[in-house]
Amino acid sequence: VHAIRNAVLPQTLHIDEPTPHVDWTTGTIRLLTEQRPWPQTGHPRRAAVSAFGVSGTNAHVIIEQAPDQDDAAPEHDTSGTPQASAAVTPRAEGSVPVVPWVISARSRDALTAQAARLAHHLDRHPELDPVDVGYSLATTRTRFDHR
C-alpha cells in the first residue's frame, strides 16, 4: 500500500545477487537492487503481497491503486442526499474484472470434482457474469478445509 501511495518501487528483499539459474539477459524482469520511482502509465498501479507461514500456510493478495479523488463519485447529490458508492470500478468495454472464485470441499478429490462441475456449468451458461459468480461462490457456499 505504501509503495502504491507513494509511487515507489521498493528494493527486492533478501537478494544479494540474482540466481545464476535464470538467464537475466533476456526478457523484461529485473530485480530491483534499490528503490526507484514507479511511473504513471495511465492504468492503476497493482501490487502483489505474499505471506508464507512456518506451518505451511500461504496467502497471496493483489491490491490496486485507489481512484483519484477527482474521479471518485460524489458523496452527496445536489440536494445533499447521500449517494451510494459503487463497489466495483467501471471497466472498459469488453474487459473482464479480476474477481476471486472461491471453491472448497471436504477432500482434495471432492475439490477437483467441484471445480469440474463449476467449469461444466459455466460452459453451458456463458451468459453468467464473472463478478456475480464470484460473489455467489464467496457468500453462499459452505467453507470447507480443502480450497
The SS3 call for residue 111 is helix
Q: For residues 3 and 50, state if they share a domain.
A: yes
The H or E element that residue 60 is part of is strand 58-64
CA torsion angle 144 145 146 147 (round to 10): 70
Question: How many domains does the chain divide into?
Answer: 2
Q: For residues 4 and 49, state if they share a domain.
A: yes
* pLDDT computed for residue 104 by the predictor: 92
d(CA 147, CA 79): 48
Beta strand ranges found along the chain (DSSP E):
8-9, 36-37, 46-52, 58-64
Q: For residues 55 and 103, state if they share a domain.
A: no
d(CA 112, CA 117): 9
Q: For residues 1 and 60, state if they share a domain.
A: yes
List, for the chain, all residue ranges whose pLDDT scores fall below the cut of 50.
76, 80-82, 84-88
Cβ atoms of 33 and 12 within 8 Å: the answer is: yes
Within-domain flag for 79:
no
The grid cell for 69 is 479523488
Domain that holds residue 15: 1-67
The grid cell for 37 is 520511482
Within-domain flag for 85:
no
